[in-house]
Structure 1
């Protein structure tokens, strides 16, 4: 599926985007401000000059466009999260022809003929704020606030019972499927990094696999990274990008959040501890098995990010966004994987996460 996404990205001309905004959503004076970075979709910041309102026009890759139930599952998740008080980019209803839904299906994009392709499109409300990664003066309080926001999101998604059936899917970025990443390790040319990736895969097999069947599962955002957590004035402000949503291990939401929090930090352990404290205040309570596998899942997500980023860039060398976590990701993965005797912080990380989680739960 990752390879198919690479082969089927949306291609759109400015005139097509403007016509789409007028015809499907009734914007009177739409204007495309800029294209936003994306892994495999096309996203545009849009302003309606008639009203001054801002939006995101999201054109889905061809794989997701062929799966309307998955797109509706994302809409359902965002509605639940927004209702719980966590700002997120909920979709606007269609107007005019095809009105009544939230997703425009079968939108023909491209230059016509063989260059044309059919895609799904949604117009999303703009969430004010900036990605956490852009804040160069991050504070412990800000990290705790972001962790609490992810915890509130997890609590809201836990209420989707039963969760949308479309979230049960084979997805490489689902930590339950982490062993599948092993097929891509050979794309890593550096031998020491390749060995590290294989060691993380082995850790997953020995520490997580035997417990996997009993770990609680729920609907997940599945990508609470420093690009998708928004902040404003030092406070958590919202969550964006639900394209990796999946039904998987409940504890994975925390593990993914911590994996990206570990990037580019002077003290990774304490930075992660602050965010986990906030998460614990608001999220459904994790059980002993979930806490036991949490460190291994953090390493697994870091490994997935650097391996799949390298592989995807080899398939799409013009998209440098795919390399955003490479160097900081390998540095974090090495430090959190090595034992203290070898200069790492593996044991310290495990101990500190247990303490921080207990602190967030009120010492229980």
Structure 2
């Protein structure tokens, strides 16, 4: 089933009916939020109480064990002091409900969850300082350290063997190169995939294993003003891409996405790396692979966005959010080369090493 067919498309009246029936809430407003494969809504109920309704796509909704683990992870992180949403129970005491809904293409089954609302604005909308980048790297590492302690009967569901968004599956991107349709960037992406196979795959046995959030991007992080007229991290959103991986994957993903809106993207890696290593210092092989892993995530994001647009042309603006500047940054990183980029990252990281 294509992503176009599996993505839910509930109307506001359908949302209001589901929330009333499952949670006993009468809504005063429903606002659709941007989404990739799922459908998310910000809800306001009586006396101004706010929530987020997450409706999973029909394909992922079939894997209830995976979603149970993701739901448990959110609670586990919240209990350990990280600013994440938690899932609210239905009036029947369930954390999720599999609903049969007709979104215009016949009835399909979608898993529905109601989440707590977190205050703040996305980090993509503020001027990000080196200090905030340091804190971003630090909280990403803390999150993965806590997740590594988590236990759950279905934790093996995170072994998502052919999950296309896993950095372990970069070679699978060769099947998507055709969606670049001969664009100049296609040669760079192909070269990144080839280098990944020869330079990263043999080293993966030396990387330390972890559970990854997998989508630690500038739209999934919330910030709010602090007492110094700067910003502090107030929320971590969207655990749908969680999978088993390696610590260095999370770091690479974080660096890549925080480059997108930054006017000096190459310099982003330094303070993030310093924040990360204040919690989890990299080993030699992880450090050597970091540059290529960041380029691999850019390639992944660009190719899969191009593919998604072919499936959901009406959602092109959101799907291509990263691609707009991502193409330029990938070219810049490639042209600078590994040695030059690493020099920038590692020298800057050393400057921020004692920044607490």
Say yes or no: does 1:10 pair with 2:5.
no
Any idea what SS the aligned residue of 1:88 has? coil
Distance 1:118 1:191, change over 3 A: closer
Q: Please report how far the alpha carbon of residue 358 of structure 1 lies from its aligned counterpart in structure 2 after TM superposition.
A: 5.2
Choose the corresponding residue for 2:73, options 64, 74, 77: 77
Q: Please report how far the alpha carbon of residue 214 of structure 1 lies from its aligned counterpart in structure 2 after TM superposition.
A: 3.5
Distance 1:211 1:129, change over 3 A: same
Q: Distance in 2 between matches of 1:122 and 1:33?
A: 15
In structure 1, the partner of 2:142 is 152
Choose the corresponding residue for 1:138, options 108, 118, 128: 128
TM-score by length of 2: 0.92
Q: Distance in 2 between matches of 1:190 and 1:200?
A: 16
Q: Does the Cα contact within 8 Å between 1:335 and 1:346 map onto a contact in 2?
A: no
Choose the corresponding residue for 1:164, options 151, 155, 160: 155
Choose the corresponding residue for 2:243, options 243, 246, 253: 246
Choose the corresponding residue for 1:314, options 310, 314, 317: 310
Q: Please report how far the alpha carbon of residue 45 of structure 1 lies from its aligned counterpart in structure 2 after TM superposition.
A: 0.3
Choose the corresponding residue for 2:258, options 246, 258, 261: 261
Q: Distance in 2 between matches of 1:90 and 1:355?
A: 39
Q: Does the Cα contact within 8 Å between 2:3 and 2:311 map onto a contact in 1?
A: no
Choose the corresponding residue for 1:20, options 18, 21, 25: 18
Q: Distance in 2 between matches of 1:186 and 1:266?
A: 31
Distance 1:54 1:255, change over 3 A: same
Q: Distance in 2 between matches of 1:70 and 1:358?
A: 39
Q: Distance in 2 between matches of 1:281 and 1:53?
A: 37
Say yes or no: does 1:323 pair with 2:320.
yes
Q: Distance in 1 between matches of 2:208 and 2:151?
A: 13
Q: Does the Cα contact within 8 Å between 1:93 and 1:101 map onto a contact in 2?
A: yes
Distance 1:71 1:200, change over 3 A: same
In structure 2, the partner of 1:53 is 49
Choose the corresponding residue for 2:341, options 334, 339, 349: 349
- Aligned CA RMSD, in angstroms, stands at 2.0
Q: Distance in 1 between matches of 2:346 and 2:7?
A: 42
Q: Distance in 2 between matches of 1:351 and 1:161?
A: 39
Q: Does the Cα contact within 8 Å between 2:260 and 2:325 map onto a contact in 1?
A: yes
Stretches of structure 1 that go unaligned for 5 or more consecutive residues are 339-343
Q: Does the Cα contact within 8 Å between 1:33 and 1:46 map onto a contact in 2?
A: yes
Distance 1:111 1:184, change over 3 A: closer
Stretches of structure 2 that go unaligned for 5 or more consecutive residues are 226-230
In structure 1, the partner of 2:202 is 210
Say yes or no: does 1:103 pair with 2:96.
yes
- Residue-by-residue CA offset, 1:177-206 (whole Å, 9 max, x unaligned): 111011101110243211011011111012
